[in-house]
Amino acid sequence: MTAPPATRVLSGADDAAIGQAARCLAAGGLVAFPTETVYGLGADAGDGRAIARLYEAKGRPAFNPLIAHVADAAAARALARFDGDAARLAETFWPGPLTLVLPKAGNCPVAELATAGLDTIAVRAPNHPVAQKILAAFGKPIVAPSANRSGRVSPTTAAHVLADLRGRVDLIIDGGATPVGLESTIVACLGAPMLLRPGGLPRQAIERALGRALAQAPHHGEASADNAPPAPGMLASHYAPRTPLRLNVTRVAPGEVLLAFGPNLVAGADKAARVLNLSPHGDLVEAAANLFSHLRSLDTAAASCIAVMPVPQSGLGEAINDRLQRAAARG
Segment interacting with ligand TXA (CB under 6 A) among 116-124, 167-175, 215-223, 259-267: 116-124
CA distance 259 to 300: 13
Cross-sheet strand order for the sheet of 67-69: 8-11, 171-174, 31-34, 39-44, 142-143, 67-69, 120-124, 98-103, 185-188, 194-197, 215-216
- Count of Cβ atoms closer than 10 Å to residue 31 Cβ: 27
For Mg ion, the closer of residues 50 and 234 by Cβ is 234
Peptide bond into 95 cis (omega under 30): yes
* Binding status of residue 122 toward ligand TXA by CB under 6 A: yes
Contacts to Mg ion from residues 135-154, by CB under 5 A? 146
Q: Are the C-beta atoms of residues 85 and 189 closer than 8 Å to each other?
A: yes
For ligand TXA, the closer of residues 53 and 124 by Cβ is 124
* Helix/strand/coil for 213: coil
Contacts to Mg ion from residues 9-68, by CB under 5 A? none
Least distance to ligand TXA from the beta carbon of 285, Å? 15
Q: Are the C-beta atoms of residues 39 and 161 closer than 8 Å to each other?
A: yes
Least distance to ligand TXA from the beta carbon of 291, Å? 13
Beta-carbon contacts of residue 28 (< 8 Å; ≥ 6 apart):
43, 44, 47, 49, 50, 53
Least distance to ligand TXA from the beta carbon of 11, Å? 19
Residues in contact with ligand TXA, shown as a per-residue x/- string from 194 to 233 under the rule CB under 6 A: --x---------------------------------xxxx
127 touches which of ligand TXA, Mg ion, none (CB within 5 to 8 A by kind)?
none
- Point out the residue whose Cβ comes nearest to ligand TXA: 233
* Binding status of residue 127 toward ligand TXA by CB under 6 A: no
Contacts to ligand TXA from residues 147-166, by CB under 6 A? none
CA atoms within 13 A on the CB side of 110: 34
Least distance to Mg ion from the beta carbon of 37, Å? 10
Applying CB under 6 A, among 12, 29, 65, 175 the residue interacting with ligand TXA is 65
186 touches which of Mg ion, ligand TXA, none (CB within 5 to 8 A by kind)?
ligand TXA
CA distance 239 to 330: 10
CA distance 312 to 300: 26
* Binding status of residue 186 toward ligand TXA by CB under 6 A: yes
> Residue 218 carries which DSSP code?
P
* Binding status of residue 99 toward Mg ion by CB under 5 A: no
Segment interacting with ligand TXA (CB under 6 A) among 6-14, 76-84, 112-120, 283-291: 112-120
CA distance 29 to 131: 16
> Residue 120 carries which DSSP code?
E
In the complex, the residues that contact ligand TXA under the rule CB under 6 A are: 35, 37-38, 40, 64-67, 99, 101, 115, 118, 120-122, 124, 126, 144-146, 183-184, 186, 196, 230-234
In the complex, the residues that contact Mg ion under the rule CB under 5 A are: 146
